[in-house]
Every structure is written in C-alpha cells, then in structure tokens.
C-alpha cells in the first residue's frame, strides 16, 4: 500500500491536461454490454475503478483491448456470464451499472450489491423499483440482486423519489432496449448522464431530454457499435483549480470544459481568484494573494457539486474569515474534518455543516484518507502545510485521480509516492 509525502509551501504554477471523466467512463463501459458489436471508447482515464470495471467485464467473457492512448475496444458479443461477483463489486458502487444493460439485452443478471466510499447511504432500491416497473422479476438474496426479464423489458413511466445519478444512468440504459416508451421523471441532470445519453444515441438509441429532469427513451430492438470519446472530468478540473487557489498560485488547465463548472467557478471568483476561460481551457490566478473563505451549499447539478465539498473545506481552512459549508447530498461526508484538524485547521461540525475559521498556516502531520474526495482535500491541505504531510490509504485517491502526484509535480508541488 502506498502513501503520498508532501512538503508544503510552494505556490503552484504551470499547465496540465485534464483526464476523461471517471463518472462518465464507468457507465459507458457498462453500456457496451447493450450490443454485440465492437465499441471503441476514447479519453478513458487510467484509474483503479476503470481497471476493476475492465476486469469485471473480462470475467463475463467480454473481449477488451487497450492501446497506448488508453482507448479501449470492447466486444461484448463474446459474453458468457451474466454475473458480477462480490470480490470485484465490493470496492466500487458503479458496478451496479451492469444490471440494467444485462437485463435489457440478455434477460437475466446476478449482480452483487455494491460497495465503494463510506460516505453514507446510497441505496440501490430506486434502481430496482424502476426495473420492476419495466417488468423485471427481482429478488435480493445473500447480498446479490437476482434479476430476470421474461421477454423484453417494457417501457414505463418512472417517477424517481429522489434524484439519483447512478439510478438514472442504469434505468436509461435498460430503457434503450425495452419495448415502447420509458419516461424518467426527476432524472439526474449531471453532465455525465448527458454524456452517457450521447454515447447511447451514437449506438442507435432514441433518447430525448438528457440534461433535464425528464428523460424520454423510445426502445429499439438492438444497438450497434460506435467510436466515442469521454468528456473531461469536471471534478478533477475543480480540484486542480482549488489547488492553485489554496497555494496562491496560477494554473492553466487544458482539455477541459469550464461550462460544466459554473457553480465552482463562481465560488472561486467570489473567493477573490481571477478566473478566465476558453472553450476547452480554464485558468485561475490568485495574484499571490490569500483568498477569502466562501459559504457553500451542495446540491444536485447544476448546483454546487458534493464531489467538490471536501476540497473547498480544505481551502476555507486557510482562507481569510469564517465560512460555512453545508452538505445536502450525503449525510456522512465530513470524515476529512478530523484529519484537517490534525494539520491545525480550525473547523467544527454542526449537523451537516462544517464551519471554518481560516488560520494563517497549517502544519504537516500524518493523515489518513477515508474516501475519494476526502483524500483529495488532505492532499490540498498538505500543499500549504509547513513541513511534511504523509497521506495514508491513497488507494482512495487512485480511484478518481489519474497520477495526481505527477500532475501536481508538473505544477511545482513537492510530492512523491512511496510505499507505506
């Protein structure tokens, strides 16, 4: 197991390229199960979750090839098993995304209930209720979802009790091969949902409304192959912008889409950073000034993303003034707060709100990552802490950030990966 050692105090400066979005790549890899034709997916990030998903598909008998540019060629025509075992699924919630495609194309699936980050309850009941409304026969036994669909799934009107990104993706994929029309009300509006829809459309699906709260899918008898490139990762983009802001630096990020980060860019501007952008790049410049703390309320897209909450909490810890960050999406997503205190942060929790009072400096210490975005916040804090910060259990960060130590090093950070 590896850890990161960071020597803080260096303002970041330079340019880096943003990777493809993990939260778009995982469902699109699952979508390859909807056809027996070859599907080629470009701009895939090199992440642990991607490797796990490829291993899961390979266990099913799917043929995969990866080139040196991380373009993945998938052929699910060779699939033998409709089974997703616990030992692969336990580390990654997105593995539940194979359920809808397997059921829609093959009429059966046996998928372990998922694992992933320990950031509160993210039940799959909405996935199962939606599939049941489409005619699936489902039972949950011994930690597995056993699903069957005699004949084709049937189009249905699905009213989601709450906004669920993964649930929207799963049901949208299942609906592409269902008989008739499916309408998903209270659908997630995230860009990664739209990216999945665009990929499915390029495979021959009939989908309208992606990016709104009502998605309409007209089922077709079959889908075909495609060559599709994943959109850039908006959360990785936001994280490196915060890295520039927290260190008093100046960073330009290329191969990204700043229009997907409106709420984050607005808050960084409010904090006193100068943000400029083009069609596929964004730059943040603090002018060497210490930025001010900002209040944040997380909410589903296009609101402020929960996946950026931990990074802004770390930023507020060294910013001017007092601010409150309220988490409205997940109920257990402040586990990084105790670790930030170990670095000298003045932060306290009141229910689902973290209240920070900025301190002039943090001090390096050993800290432990508890989930993906929490680990990012600890790395950011380490960039400004005096002395050395050792971030343990960084397998969390490897699930969502491609070679984070290499990219930060390109920007001047003193950071290295070593065995724990």
Q: CA-CA distances (angstroms) from residue 319 to 11, 225, 391?
A: 15, 50, 22
List all residues 6 or more positions away from 116 whose beta carbon is below 8 Å from its beta carbon.
91, 92, 93, 94, 122
Encode 96-126: b = buried (16+ Cβ within 10 Å), e = exposed. bbbbbbbbbbbbebbbbbbebbebeebebeb
- Active-site annotation, residues: 117
Strands (E), 25-115: 38-42, 63-66, 72-75, 83-84, 108-112
Is residue 173 exposed (0-12), middle (13-18) or buried (19+ Cβ within 10 Å)? buried
The DSSP H or E segment spanning 229 is strand 226-229
Confirm if 200 and 207 have CB atoms less than 8 A apart. Answer: yes
Please say whether the dihedral angle defined by the alpha carbons of residues 251, 252, 258 and 260, taken in this order, is positive or negative.
negative
* DSSP structure class, residue 220: -
CB atoms within 10 A of CB 204: 17
Q: Which two tokens stand for residue 367?
A: 């800290």
Closest CA to 313 of 339, 279, 331, 275: 339
Distance between CA atoms of 78 and 234, rounded to whole angstroms?
A: 34
């Amino acid at each position: 197991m590896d850890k990161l050692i960071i020597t803080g105090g260096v303002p970041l400066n330079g340019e880096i390229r943003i990777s493809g979005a993990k939260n778009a790549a995982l469902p699109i890899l699952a979508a390859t199960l909807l056809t027996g034709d070859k599907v080629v997916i470009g701009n895939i990030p090199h992440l642990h979750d991607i490797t796990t998903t490829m291993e899961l598909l390979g266990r099913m008998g799917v043929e995969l090839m990866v080139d040196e540019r991380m373009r993945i060629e998938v052929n699910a025509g060779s699939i033998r098993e409709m089974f997703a075992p616990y030992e692969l699924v336990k580390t990654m919630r997105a593995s539940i995304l194979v359920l809808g495609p397997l059921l829609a194309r093959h009429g059966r699936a046996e998928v372990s209930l998922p694992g992933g980050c320990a950031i509160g309850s993210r039940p799959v009941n909405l996935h199962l209720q939606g599939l049941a409304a489409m005619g699936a026969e489902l039972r949950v036994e011994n930690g597995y979802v056993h699903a069957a669909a005699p004949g084709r799934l049937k189009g249905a009107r699905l009213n989601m009790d709450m906004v669920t990104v993964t649930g929207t993706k799963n049901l949208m994929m299942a609906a592409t091969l269902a008989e008739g029309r499916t309408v998903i009300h209270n659908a997630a509006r995230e860009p990664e949902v739209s990216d999945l829809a665009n990929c499915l459309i390029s495979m021959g699906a009939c989908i309208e409304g992606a990016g709104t709260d009502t998605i309409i899918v007209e089922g077709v008898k079959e889908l075909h192959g495609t060559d599709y490139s994943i959109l850039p990762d908006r959360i990785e983009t936001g994280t490196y912008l915060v890295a520039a802001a927290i260190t008093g630096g100046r960073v330009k990020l290329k191969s990204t889409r700043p229009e997907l980060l409106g709420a984050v860019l607005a808050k960084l501007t409010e904090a006193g950073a100068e943000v400029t952008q083009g069609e596929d790049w964004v730059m943040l410049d603090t002018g060497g000034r210490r930025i001010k703390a900002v209040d944040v309320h997380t909410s589903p897209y296009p609101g402020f993303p929960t996946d950026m909450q931990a990074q802004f909490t770390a930023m507020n810890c060294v910013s001017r003034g007092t601010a409150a960050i309220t988490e409205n999406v997940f109920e257990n997503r402040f586990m990084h707060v105790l670790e930030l205190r170990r670095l000298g942060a003045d932060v306290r929790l009141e229910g689902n709100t973290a209240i920070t009072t900025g301190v002039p400096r943090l001090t390096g210490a050993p800290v432990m990552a508890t989930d993906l975005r929490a680990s990012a916040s600890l790395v950011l804090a380490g960039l400004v802490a005096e002395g050395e910060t050792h971030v343990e259990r960084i397998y969390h960060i490897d699930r969502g950030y491609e070679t984070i130590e290499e990219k930060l090093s390109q920007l001047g950070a003193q950071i290295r990966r070593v065995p724990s």
